[in-house]
Chain A
Amino acid sequence: MKTIILALLALLALPARAELKIFATVPEWGALASVIGGDKVDVFTATNGLQDPHHIQARPSLIARARSADLVVATGAELEVGWLPVVLRESGNARVQPGQPGSFEAAAYVRMLDVPARLDRAEGDVHAAGNPHIQTDPRNILKAGEALAARMAQLDGGDAATYQANWKSFSERWRAAMARWEKQAAPLRGISVAVQHKAFPYLEDWLGLKEVAALEPKPGVEPSVAYLSKLLGQVAANPPRMVIRAAYLSPQASEWFGREARVPVVVVPFTVGGDERAQDLFTLFDDTVDRLLAALK
């Protein structure tokens, strides 16, 4: 009997683990939290690089993970509007509700682009706060990471020094890598591109790409062949040098357009895990820049 009671007490004591439990909505924030947290954190990433971040369901495993999380790291700007509120509500976890220190939204720390002047579903799936695909510009990773490191230090004071040290080391390497990518990508400055989904304003802003067409007639609406043909006519005079598509999107539209317009289709990983090579934040941008450059040749 005594041993049973002792075993039960030991079980009760188990949840008092020192690790900060982090629930990241998308792979880029999961990777960032892992870099900053090192072995002091337990990171769960809700989605993978091949999933459409707009269309995730509040599946049982997400509710279970959010239940025990100390910190939820999301993009915000309505990217997760379809599922994160349900997950948080169902989780019964007070620490990670919006407004609590355990709720972190990266979009709050970067300059938002494509903020719509008109909010109307007739314009497709547009987000009031602006385009939420902020992770395609490494400068945003820097801004979000700085705020995230501070937040993690606030939540877990005991390991604050580790978080700050990890962040310092990462941000130095990141700045060096950014200088390298920018130098490599210089030939891309000013070239015209078409995109399948309006997912790249931040990448375009960073590398100086000029977006001349989006294959989706409205964000989130699949293009028809008739629409693509019309678009083909419109850009005939000044055709884009390439069509850019995120790895998670279905290939038909961009493949068709690329074939008809005789321009290469570049499938960029879009986030960590989007392809074989993009297995961390550095390789994500190595691969993205290389793929764009390869299409110029």
Chain B
Amino acid sequence: MLAGTYTRLTQDPNRYAINGFIPTGGDVAPPRRSFGLGESELGIAANIDPGLRGQLTASLAADGGASVEESFIQTLGLGSGVTVKAGRYLSGIGYMNSQHAHAWDFVDAPLAYKAMLGGQWKNDGVQMKWIAPTDLLVEIGAEAGAGGAFPSTDRNKNGSTTGALFGHVGGDVGLSNSWRAGLSVLGTSPRDRQYDDVNGAGVGVTNAFSGRSRTWLTDFVWKWAPDGNATVRNLIVQGEYFHRRENGSLTYDINGANLADDYASTQSGFYAQTVYQFMPRWRVGYRYDRLDSGKVSLGVTGGNPRGSTPTMADFPLLAAYTPKRNSLMVDFSASEFSRLRLQFARDESRRDAIDNQFWLQYVVSLGAHGAHSF
């Protein structure tokens, strides 16, 4: 899988932030300006023996580093609708989460994925999934893992520290329509999850959160194609809603003042998008993103008589805000294995600056025939 972009941004991607939300770290900023190589992915998948299958997806970063995107084993022969996966895998929560980025319909992830999951939620752990013996798809899954990336942290402790549950139902309506809907929850207990901010005096500080984080996701996708034949025309409508509660303690300026007190937040976000193929090979799409920074209560800013406590002005990133983004894309697929995409987005993730983003991207696959996942 190879991808490359040409990027034009009106704002500096190095100063990217989603205001109102604790920064997630990881790959959430737009790619650097001008020509850029996306991730080159190398995938190997094969059956290991009659009962097991293995898959490795290595990602080669443009600057030379290599990382393990996914590496897991999966059972084939357990029967009774049960499948077990172990290793590192994209979690089954939500809809887009388990898809590789190159299969997305837009260049980048929805804002909700960026703000709530740091892009995409991957886990080192075990997943068990069960499919009910019904004509309607009913799928229930559970995951236990070690966490590591946002919203969790590495806990250096025995047992599972991050868990997820998900359920999906789906089916067809007539010949032309198919759908899937789901509800998932991701729960974790981060310790000392650090992020950088600039306090009221203009000095950089590092703050840290410890406590519980629980994210609920609902997802929905509807696909239409006349008589189920998607080659000429087809329509995809999808959306996901995220709701996150975090409570615990937040430590202000761990390298200086080092003041800790209660922290609680209830935040949400969603995206809705539609992609229409109006003739063979050509598609257009529109996506709307919106986040709500919701309620954030910071005990550390509360009435200390000495007057030296930090105030809300010392947490500019957490000040209430509703980030928004509108994205438009058009893509052309010369064959099933290559796609050229043009995307324009007006990104209001930052309180004080609108970022007009323009991308030209190619995504191609070579080697083994890829899978047409729903």
Contacts and interface: CB of A to CB of B under 8 A. Distances in A.
Interface of A: 15, 47-48, 50-52, 54-61, 63-65, 67-68, 78, 81-83, 85-86, 89-95, 97, 99, 121, 124-125, 220-222, 248-250
Contact of B131 (A58, A81, A90, A95): A90
A222 B157 CA distance: 56
A60 B177 CA distance: 11
B178 interface: yes
Nearest to A99: B50
B346 interface: no
B66 interface: no
Interface in B230-271: 230-232
Interface string B123-144: 0000001111111111100000
A78 B369 contact: yes
A64 B131 contact: yes
B339 interface: no
B322 interface: no
B181 to A, nearest CB: 10
A83 B373 CA distance: 7
Given A48-B175, A55-B336, 14 more contacts: A48-B227, A58-B374, A60-B137, A60-B178, A61-B136, A61-B171, A61-B172, A67-B132, A68-B133, A82-B370, A82-B372, A92-B79, A125-B335, A249-B231
B228 A51 contact: yes
Nearest to A80: B372
Given A47-B228, A56-B372, A93-B81, A61 B133 contact: no
A90 B84 CA distance: 10
A249 B366 CA distance: 25
Interface size class on chain B is 35 or more
B81 A121 contact: no
A56 B231 CA distance: 9
16 contacts: A51-B228, A52-B231, A57-B230, A57-B372, A60-B137, A60-B180, A64-B136, A67-B81, A67-B131, A67-B133, A68-B133, A86-B373, A89-B74, A90-B131, A221-B335, A250-B231
A250 B369 contact: no
A-side binding surface: helix, strand, loop or mixed?
loop
B337 A121 contact: yes
Contacts of B135: 61, 64-65
B138 A95 contact: no
A222 B372 contact: no
A92 B76 CA distance: 6
Nearest to B225: A51
Given A60-B170, A64-B171, A250-B232, A90 B83 contact: yes
A196 to B, nearest CB: 12
Contact of B76 (A50, A63, A83, A94): A94
B228 A48 contact: yes
B178 A61 contact: yes
A166 to B, nearest CB: 25
**6 smallest A-B Cβ distances: which pairs?**
A60-B170, A60-B137, A94-B79, A64-B137, A94-B77, A50-B227
Contact of B223 (A59, A64, A94, A121): A59
B371 A85 contact: yes
Contacts of A121: 335, 337, 366
Contact of A125 (B78, B227, B230, B336): B336
A92 B81 contact: yes
Given A89-B53, A92-B81, A94-B78, A82 B371 contact: yes
A249 B280 CA distance: 11
B228 A250 contact: no
Given A92-B129, A94-B77, A221-B335, A59 B170 contact: yes
Given A51-B227, A94-B79, A250 B280 contact: yes
Interface string B316-355: 0000000000000000001111000000000000000000
A67 B134 CA distance: 8
B55 to A, nearest CB: 10
Contacts of A47: 228
B122 interface: no
Contacts of A15: 133
A92 B139 CA distance: 11
A50 B228 contact: yes
A194 B171 CA distance: 39
A278 to B, nearest CB: 15
Most buried by B among A59, A78, A249: A59
A39 to B, nearest CB: 19
Nearest to A124: B335
A56 B372 CA distance: 7
Nearest to A127: B369
B168 to A, nearest CB: 7
Interface string B352-374: 00000000000000100111111
B10 interface: no
B139, B229, B230: most-surrounded residue (chain A CB, <10 A): B229
A222 B124 CA distance: 43
B50 A58 contact: no
B281 interface: yes
Nearest to B366: A121
Contact of A97 (B76, B369, B373): B76
B229 A248 contact: yes
A248 B229 CA distance: 8
Task: Pick the most buried of A64, A94, A125: most chain B CB atoms within 10 A of its CB.
Answer: A64
